């Protein structure tokens, strides 16, 4: 029996597309509902593209994929103006950034100039081409990927761009039973012919995001968040403390986490639950140091009662 709750239907659609990764799906949903953007750092072939396609279809939006390479130009992402010989005027040809869900595959393989073309789109949901502003979808969502073990010919993302992502996740390898089911589901189907269900109607995602924005955060919980941010700025191992923008993102993701739990208020547990993916993308730490440092930060700040 199909659920009438749109969040449950989204969960079912994404869990069907990416098997055995329920925790990852919850974080993806929280990122989407918080109007953030997602950085997936993982090895090739673990389902990142599948997840992005299923998400775009589920929310009733359009999907575009950009394979980032060193010769990719900013206009290849944003679009560019061409001269129409018939009308004798310049016409703007929209780039893939005008999709509802944009997958920027191996984003660290393209040059900083092209990486920066996404900054305005991610932060303002608009692009400026030839001094003309073009508005993107209000629910525009970027999923960027990068390979954590292949660094030859890459351009590390600058901190200014990393701070535009709400969180960083790793999909990881599936469990044995999930891979067996994956193989069974592939029998009789050609690669790439997966069909994903449409779950939300036009405008429904925006309504859900607005409901998330209204989730209550009491003053003592806001104070807890500020104290945690201060702890990141004074921790001896942290090279880049949490910015006010990062603090706002952390609060919004915690609101989304509470919403997914069907609560209309944020608790300290919500803040702690999303700390790892939110902080990992913006503290300037080596991957192996992230988990222990974030645990130290959470243990160093008293939890409000």
Domain of 272: which CATH number?
Answer: 1.10.8.80
Say if residue 175 is in the same domain as residue 236. no
Q: Collapse the DSSP code of 44 into the 3-class scheme (helix H, G, I; strand E, B; otherwise coil) and give the result.
A: coil
CA atoms of 167 and 226, how far apart (whole Å): 18
pLDDT band at 62 (very low <50, low <70, confident <90, very high): very high
pLDDT digits (tens, 9 = 90+) for 151-170: 666 788 878 788 889 999 98
β-bridge partners, 145: 40
Query: What's the pTM value of the predicted model, to 2 decimals?
Result: 0.90
87: left (phi over 0), alpha (psi -120 to 50) or beta: alpha
Q: Are 16 and 140 in the same domain?
A: yes
Looking at the structure, do residues 253 and 145 belong to the same domain, yes or no?
Answer: no
- The residue segments making up the domain with residue 47 are 1-182+203-210
pLDDT tens-digit readout, 76-127: 999 988 888 888 888 889 999 999 999 999 998 899 888 888 888 998 899 9
Q: Are 114 and 73 in contact (CB under 8 A)?
A: yes
Based on the fold, state whether residues 225 and 168 are members of the same structural domain.
no
Q: Exposed e or buried b for every residue in 141-169, given b needs 16+ CB within 10 A?
A: bbbbbbeeeeeeebbebeeebbbbbbbbb
Cα dist from 91 to 79, 101, 196, 241, whole Å = 11, 24, 34, 44
| DSSP-based three-state secondary structure for 13 | helix
Q: Indicate the number of domains in the chain.
A: 2
Residues 147 and 3 in one domain: yes
165 and 298: one domain? no
Going by C-alpha positions, the residue among 23, 25, 1 that lies closest to residue 13 is: 25
């Amino acid at each position: 029996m199909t659920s009438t709750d749109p969040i449950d239907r989204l969960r079912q659609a994404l869990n069907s597309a990416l098997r055995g990764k329920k925790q990852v799906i919850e974080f993806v949903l929280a990122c989407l509902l918080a109007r953030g953007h997602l950085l997936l750092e993982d090895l090739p072939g673990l389902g990142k593209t599948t997840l992005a396609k299923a998400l775009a279809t589920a929310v009733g939006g359009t999907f575009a994929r950009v394979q980032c390479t060193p010769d990719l130009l900013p206009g290849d992402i944003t679009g560019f103006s061409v001269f129409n010989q018939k009308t004798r005027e310049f016409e703007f040809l929209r780039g893939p950034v005008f999709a509802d869900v944009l997958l920027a595959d191996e984003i660290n393989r393209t040059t900083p100039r092209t990486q920066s073309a996404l900054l305005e789109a991610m932060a303002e949901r608009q692009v400026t081409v030839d001094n003309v502003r073009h508005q993107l979808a209000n629910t525009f969502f970027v999923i960027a990927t990068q390979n954590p073990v292949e660094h030859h010919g890459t351009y590390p993302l600058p901190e200014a761009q990393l701070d535009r992502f709400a969180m960083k996740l790793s999909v990881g390898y599936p469990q044995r039973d999930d891979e067996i089911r994956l193989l069974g589901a592939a029998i009789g189907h050609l690669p790439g012919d997966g069909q994903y269900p449409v779950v939300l109607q036009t405008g429904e995602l925006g309504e859900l995001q607005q409901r998330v924005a209204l989730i209550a955060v009491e003053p003592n919980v806001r104070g807890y968040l500020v104290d945690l941010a201060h702890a990141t700025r004074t921790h001896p191992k942290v090279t880049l403390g949490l910015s006010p923008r990062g603090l706002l993102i952390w609060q919004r993701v915690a609101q989304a986490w509470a919403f997914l739990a069907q609560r209309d208020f944020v608790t300290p547990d919500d803040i702690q639950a999303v700390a790892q993916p939110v902080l990992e993308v913006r503290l300037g730490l080596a991957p192996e140091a992230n988990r222990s440092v974030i645990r130290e930060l959470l243990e160093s700040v008293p939890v409000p009662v």
